A and B are shown apart, each in its own frame.
Chain A
Amino acid sequence: MFRLDGKTALVTGASGGIGSAIAGILHAQGARVVLSGTRESVIQQQADKLGEGRAFAAAANLGDAGAADALVAKAEEIAGAPLDILVNNAGLTRDTLALRMKDEDWNQVLDVDLAAPFRLCRATLKGMLRRRAGRIVNIASIIGATGNAGQANYAAAKAGMIGMSKSLAQEVGSRGVTVNVVAPGFIVTPMTDALPDAQREKLQASIPLGRLGQPSDVASAVLYLASDEAAWITGCTLHVNGGMAMI
């Protein structure tokens, strides 16, 4: 079950906690994995660590115009195979209350968190449609469904990603290509580590399963949607949040 032997995957934002867990699990299941991120030395190190001649690094700054199209071409070149799986995990935040939010904060988040994933989907879908197979998994966020004070830009981008994925799913379903979303809740990262204990405890109390999520919790969901076993699931948003929001 859930084997990915012979498949080739591109994971963006692979240097982060969640992205690296996703790249790791896809690789462990037999896929060739191209790790993308802005920090070239970090992703190269990760690729070397995964090894087995099936892990590659392709640095990209998805905020740059043309970066998405170039990344898909580069990934297929270094992996020596067309992409079967795309995981749009890269994203950034520029948090501040709306009254203080500059156009630049808004635009940058929408660019990297929504426009770049769209461009990566578009570039990857071309080949997937031709081959009549493919898996796209977009990493959104619980914030895209619930909203969050201080994150109007991020919430808009992530909600946009969910709507985009549903539209793409309808466009390409007839060709055996699925487009799904994984929406993580609060995951243990350097950012949540930095929270004061009291706030952390309060956060934990709001999660029925009683703990923050691990990157591996998200990665497992991605693996499922990327596998052949999820062939009849498309346009779906899988919430991985410990029950914090039951939607």
Chain B
Amino acid sequence: MSEIADKVKKIVVEHLGVEESKVTPEASFIDDLGADSLDTVELVMAFEEAFNVEIPEDAAEKITTVKDAIDYIEKQKVA
């Protein structure tokens, strides 16, 4: 697992207070991990801070799973 994926997972575990085993790439923040809409906003803000990237509103809306977050951040970091 990449460093980014590791860090994303850690942030999700910490913020949502869920078990690490549940934070699979396919896990949906809302449907599988019990997040509400405010949690998803806070998560995106936490990602922005941790990775020093800016995630615009339209991109943030599309980040619904753990994998979405990892993919988006990896793409930003390469670019």
Interface residues of A (CB under 8 A from B): 126, 129-130, 171-172, 174-175
Cβ contacts under 8 Å, B45 to chain A: 126
Tally inter-chain residue pairs, CB-CB below 8 A: 9
Cross-chain contact A174 with B36 (CB below 8 angstroms): yes
What's the minimum C-beta distance from B24 to chain A, rounded to whole angstroms?
Answer: 25
Q: Which residue of B lies closest to A129 (CB)?
A: B42
Question: Dominant SS at the A interface?
Answer: helix
With the chains together, A55 CA to B28 CA distance in Å?
46
Interface residues of B (CB under 8 A from A): 36, 38, 42, 45
With the chains together, A126 CA to B36 CA distance in Å?
16
9 contacts between A and B (CB under 8 A): A126-B45, A129-B38, A129-B42, A130-B42, A171-B38, A172-B38, A174-B36, A174-B38, A175-B38
Q: Sorted from nearest, which 8 A-B pairs have the closest CB atoms?
A: A129-B42, A171-B38, A174-B36, A174-B38, A175-B38, A129-B38, A172-B38, A126-B45
Cβ contacts under 8 Å, B42 to chain A: 129-130
With the chains together, A174 CA to B42 CA distance in Å?
13
With the chains together, A110 CA to B42 CA distance in Å?
28
Cβ contacts under 8 Å, A175 to chain B: 38
Q: A126-B45, A174-B36, A175-B38 provided; 6 other pairs, C-beta below 8 A?
A: A129-B38, A129-B42, A130-B42, A171-B38, A172-B38, A174-B38
With the chains together, A102 CA to B40 CA distance in Å?
42
With the chains together, A175 CA to B38 CA distance in Å?
9
With the chains together, A171 CA to B41 CA distance in Å?
11
Cβ contacts under 8 Å, A171 to chain B: 38
Q: Which residue of A lies closest to B37 (CB)?
A: A171
Q: Which residue of B lies closest to A126 (CB)?
A: B45
What's the minimum C-beta distance from A34 to chain B, rounded to whole angstroms?
Answer: 24
What's the minimum C-beta distance from A14 to chain B, rounded to whole angstroms?
Answer: 30
Cβ contacts under 8 Å, B38 to chain A: 129, 171-172, 174-175
Cβ contacts under 8 Å, A126 to chain B: 45
What's the minimum C-beta distance from A153 to chain B, rounded to whole angstroms?
Answer: 30
What's the minimum C-beta distance from A207 to chain B, rounded to whole angstroms?
Answer: 41
Cβ contacts under 8 Å, A172 to chain B: 38
Q: Which residue of B lies closest to A173 (CB)?
A: B38
What's the minimum C-beta distance from B7 to chain A, rounded to whole angstroms?
Answer: 18
With the chains together, A172 CA to B36 CA distance in Å?
11
Cβ contacts under 8 Å, A130 to chain B: 42
With the chains together, A130 CA to B38 CA distance in Å?
11
With the chains together, A175 CA to B41 CA distance in Å?
13
Cβ contacts under 8 Å, B36 to chain A: 174
